[in-house]
Structure 1
Amino acid sequence: MTTTLLQRALDTRARTWSQMQEIQARAEGEGRDLSAEERASWDAAEADLTAASQDIERLERHARMDTVQREQIVVAGGDQAAETAEDRQATHDAAYRDAFAAFTRRGMSGLDNEQRQLLMSNQSEIRAGATSPGTAGGYFIPTDTLARITETMKAYGGLLGAANVITTTSGNPLNWPSNDDTANVGAILAENAQITEQDVTLGQKTLGAFTYTSKLVRLSLQLIQDDAFGVEAWLARKLGERIGRAVAAHLATGVGTTQPEGLFTNATAGKTGLAGQVTSVIYDDLVDLQHSIDPAYRASAQWAMSDSALKVVRKLKDSQGRPLWEPSVQAGVPSSLMGSAVLIDNGIPVPAASAKSIGYGDINAAYVVRQVAGGQMMRLEERYADFLQVGFFGFMRLDAKPDDGSAFRVYAHPAS
């Protein structure tokens, strides 16, 4: 059903875009501006195009999360004697998911001994203001549920899906080496001559682990006990959305001290707009921005901007009068701009005076994100007992920094 709806939305977007092109071509062919009626038709079509694009994004996100859930299905049966290590791990994971679901609904008192042991073996101690073990702990979210949270985070922040994401088991400071050897070249060696030396200079960055929390969610006991409602999946989605929104903003423009350093925060401007372009960009600016990146990076480069910036860019045409933006008509294939994919992330600044609103480059090479394995959830059972409610919150540890600064450049609007 999702595939059918997705294809229908793609067809609608392609058809609407074709209609907009016909309106524009008719006016240009007659050497005139759009009439009032044509302008009204164009505005209505543009609204339909935006709605179709939003539908496509939502359906593709649903398809990704559905795939994550289906990949976790464990088929019972078969020759027990031929059970492999993978089979045993799958069985263990399934049992842990069941224990975690029971914990979500009933708390520790509602678990049998085996389920309690499973959870206790995957517990991380938490104590505010201290690093030594305490009595209160958070239980690791099962892999498939965590994957659903990660998918939700990607949907709310496209940069996370494009960056180089590394996962570590602990949150200790991680030293990340860097190197720029592009200024050094080889040489011709004369006969009987001694070879010259040229050392490689390595830099170093440190990735920490900021703790992101979903804040507290209180659920009634009636809702938790209602087996007809998939509270585990719903709760994971809500926690993921909250964490994802916070992460998205910081990956774009985080200050780098009390939060990750954003990709756009200190990025080099590949092009600065002319005076007066405080909320606009022209075709020549985008060409200059593309060529501010070395060709070595352009094969994997993509555009990154907010939806507000995309609205501005979609109205631009090249020197032949052809629109720069090409909407995708195939599921899973992003829309393109001047031959490169367009990544939308609303954490990126919108067009404004002195803002860096458009980026271009190889984001995977330019930006590294460090996640500490195991997003966790805590259940507060007694705190709200007099309300017949249970409190939940999720948290995840993450840091990020620009990596290869040569791989990414931004378009900066002038101050006035």
Structure 2
Amino acid sequence: MKQKFIPRGVMAVRAEAAPSQAELKQTIEALNKAFADFKTEHQQQLDEVKKGNHDALQALKVERINSDIGSLQKTVDELNMRMASAQMGGATTGNSPKDPEYTSAFQAHMRKGEVQASMNKGAAEEGGYLTPVEWDRTITDRLREESPMRQLARVQPTSKAGWKKLFNLGGTGSGWVGETDARPETATPTLAELGFGHGEIYANPAATQQILDDGEINIESWLASEVEAEFAEQEGIAFISGDGAKKPAGILTYVEGGANAAKHPFGAIKVVNSGAAAAITADATLDLVYSLPKKFRQNARFLTNNLSLAAIRKLKDGQGNYLWQPSAQAGQPATLHGYGIAEDENMPDIAANSLPLMFGDFRRGYLIIDRMGIRVLRDPYTKKPYVLFYTTKRVGGGVQNPECLRAMKVGTGE
């Protein structure tokens, strides 16, 4: 019987070069200039509207600058991420694999279908071979860069397919007694169990055998990039709106009125109305912040999509100050009411009864379950002359504490 073994690792993967401070500074300066232009042009647009005039060209100019701001802010965020990755040792420190025997065998199998003795280390009962650990980490790192939820939430590796957690609902009794009074038994706390939805995500890229034989592509980097793109897209959707059936349970499904609103022992994620039938108001964004208990606000962030953020940039406080502020220096994100903002295009757009904006401590609020190990099954038969690489990974997720999160619902609540 072949022994199941998770390989110690492998192949070094080149990281993008870290950006220079000058490059980041230049981008931030361009962002701040664009925001200054935006404020000037937007105010001019508002002044004309007050006079009863509607200048379509002026409105178009404002939207163009708003779009430029979004692009520049995204560039700043990416540069900050690359700098942080380099500082944490994300760049390659060497080209020699830690486990050259397994890595060499894995590459030979992926290219030519050869099965060497050393491949037994990666064999598993359910078929396919475990990818080298370093390659596995590479995909996970790239998923972290692609998926805002992976950056915000807590990620729990596990060797099992599922994950359950116990919650203390309280109920412990107590009482006052005198020095010599009896101490009768008190009530005990109630515990509740919560499981997290999980499923298997897959990608099935193909390459011709001739390309593999000629070595025209780096099979490892090509396969990793193909898998990363597919996994990131599917995960991103599930973490936000997944129904929990053979996939993670999305964070929005735990909001009051959602499919999983009654699932958590602590209740549903509470909502704050936007203050308008089909828009978000400045007062409502502040209400959203202060609806969250103070103990959860320290590490809280906003989560929305790009279109909603474009509308939020136009909001002002009672003194005429814009609520959204761009990055002021390296390492700082754009802010709303002083809290960072994360963009996820899987969040809904602003529309009646939608949930376009969330706020909270996502690391304490949402849990992603990663079944350790990515498996690859080489299939040269199904689609000749192509060789398919059926790649799978088990992923789960769900809300672990709804009290840490708040959602904004578009509407007046009437």
- Report TM bin, short chain: 0.7 to 0.9
1:73-112 equivalences in 2 (<5 Å): 73-74=93-94, 91-92=98-99, 94-108=100-114
Could you tell me how far 1:67 is from its partner in structure 2?
A: 7.8
Shift of residue 186, structure 1, vs aligned partner: 8.5
Q: Which residue of 2 aligns with 1:270?
A: 271
Count of residue pairs the alignment pairs up: 379
Please report how far the alpha carbon of residue 291 of structure 1 lies from its aligned counterpart in structure 2 after TM superposition.
1.4
Q: Percent identity?
A: 19
Unmatched runs of 5 consecutive residues or more in structure 2: 1-16, 256-268
User: Out of 201, 214, 218, which is 2:206 matched to?
Assistant: 218
Check if 1:143 corresponds to 2:161. Answer: no
> CA–CA distance in 2 between the matches of 1:396 and 1:17?
42
Letter in 2 for 1:146: D
- Distance of 1:309 and 1:184 partners within structure 2: 45
Contact 1:140–1:377 (CA<8 Å) still a contact in 2? yes
- Structure 1 residues 143, 361: closer, same or farther in 2, change over 3 A? same
Alignment deviations for residues 297-337 of structure 1 (CA, whole Å, 9 cap, x no partner): 01111111122221121111111111111122444432111
* Aligned mates of 2:30, 2:331 — CA distance in 1: 16
Tell whether 2:52 aligns with 1:55. no
Counterpart CA distance in 2 for 1:185 and 1:327 is 51
Shift in CA distance, 103/259, structure 1 to aligned 2, threshold 3 Å: same
Instruction: Say which SS state the counterpart of residue 209 (structure 1) adopts.
Output: strand
1:345 deviation in Å? Answer: 1.2
Correspondent of 1:199 among 142, 165, 188: 188
- The residue that corresponds to 2:339 in the other structure is 340
CA distance in 2, matches of 1:53, 1:288: 25
What is the rounded CA distance, in whole Å, between the counterparts of 1:255 and 1:41 in structure 2? 40
Secondary structure at 2:193 match in 1? strand
Q: Does 1:379 align with 2:378?
A: yes
Match of 1:160 in 2: 150
1:349-386 CA-partner distances (Å, limit 9, x unpaired): 2222221111111111111111100122221123344x
In the TM superposition, 1:244-393 aligns within 5 A as 244-267=232-255, 268-274=269-275, 276-278=276-278, 280-385=279-384, 387=385, 389-393=386-390
Deviation per CA, 1:165-194: give whole Å up to 9, x if none. Answer: 1111122x432112355x989888776666
Distance of aligned partners of 1:296 and 1:186 in 2 relative to their CA distance in 1, 3 Å threshold: farther
In 2, the alpha carbon distance for the partners of 1:157 and 1:403 equals 19
SS at 1:150 equivalent:
helix
User: SS where residue 271 of structure 1 aligns?
Assistant: strand
TM-score, structure 2 as length reference: 0.79
CA distance in 2, matches of 1:31, 1:357: 27
The question of whether the paired residues in 2 share the 8 Å contact of 1:178 and 1:403 is answered with no
What's the secondary structure of 2:289's corresponding residue?
helix
TM superposition shift of 1:159: 1.1
- 1:408 aligns to 2:405 (yes or no): yes
CA contact (8 A) 1:250 1:347 kept: no
Matched residues in 2 for 1:201 and 1:375: separation? Answer: 38
Q: What residue in structure 2 maps to residue 84 of structure 1? A: none
Matched-pair contact (CA < 8 Å) for 1:157–1:347: no
User: Is the contact made by 2:270 and 2:405 (CA closer than 8 Å) also made in structure 1?
Assistant: no
Give the secondary-structure state (helix, strand or coil) at the position aligned to 2:252: coil
Displacement of 1:224: 2.6
Structure 1 residue 403: Cα displacement = 1.0
CA contact (8 A) 1:178 1:404 kept: no
> 1:284 deviation in Å?
1.0
1:395 aligns with 2:392: yes
The alpha-carbon deviation at position 91 of structure 1 amounts to 3.1
Task: Indicate how the Cα distance of structure 1 residues 312 and 186 shifts in structure 2: closer, same or farther if over 3 A, else same.
Answer: farther
Matched, 1:45 2:65: yes
The alignment yields a C-alpha RMSD, in angstroms, of: 3.4
CA distance in 1, matches of 2:247, 2:290: 31
Quote the residue 1:85 is aligned against: none
Counterpart of 1:359, as a letter, is M
Give the 3-state SS of the residue equivalent to 1:125 in structure 2.
coil
Residue by residue over 1:272-306, the C-alpha shift from the partner in whole angstroms, topping out at 9 and shown as x without a partner, is 234x522x111111111111111110111111112
The 10-residue stretch of structure 1 (321-330 or 2-11) with the greater mean CA deviation from structure 2: 2-11
Pairwise CA distance, 1:13: 1.6
Separation in 1, partners of 2:348, 2:327:
24
Stretches of structure 1 that go unaligned for 5 or more consecutive residues are 77-89, 110-115, 127-136
Q: 1:197 to 1:186 in 2, by over 3 A?
A: closer
User: 1:160 is matched by which residue type in structure 2?
Assistant: R
Q: Which amino acid aligns with 1:269?
A: K
* Secondary structure, counterpart of 1:316 in structure 2: coil
Corresponding residue to 1:11 among 29, 34, 55 = 29
Describe the SS at the equivalent of 1:349. Answer: coil
Q: 2:137 is aligned with what amino acid?
A: A
